[in-house]
Amino acid sequence: MIGKVIGALVGREIDRRDGSGGAKGAALGWLAAGAMKRLGPLGLALGGAYVAKKMYDRRKASRGK
């Protein structure tokens, strides 16, 4: 379940970066969730780290303005 949530967050971050429709982000999030499942705890850590880094960068950018 946590892997699916992180996969959805990864998809959302990819979709925000792209800026167009949500289909690409949803598909890549689905693929990310599958990859995390295959990699086990390492995949979960990598996906979580990606999302955390993007959130940190966004917060840091909003404070700098």
In the predicted structure, residue 63 carries a pLDDT above the cut 70: yes
Q: How many CA atoms lie within 13 A of 12 on its CB side?
A: 10
Number of domains in the chain: 1
Residue 22 belongs to domain spanning: 2-64
Please write the tens of the pLDDT for every residue from 4-33. 777 777 777 777 776 666 677 777 777 877
Q: Residue 51: what pLDDT?
A: 82
Higher local confidence (pLDDT), 62 or 26: 62
pLDDT per residue as tens digits for the range 34-51: 877 788 888 888 888 888
> Residue 8 and residue 29: Cα distance in Å, rounded?
5
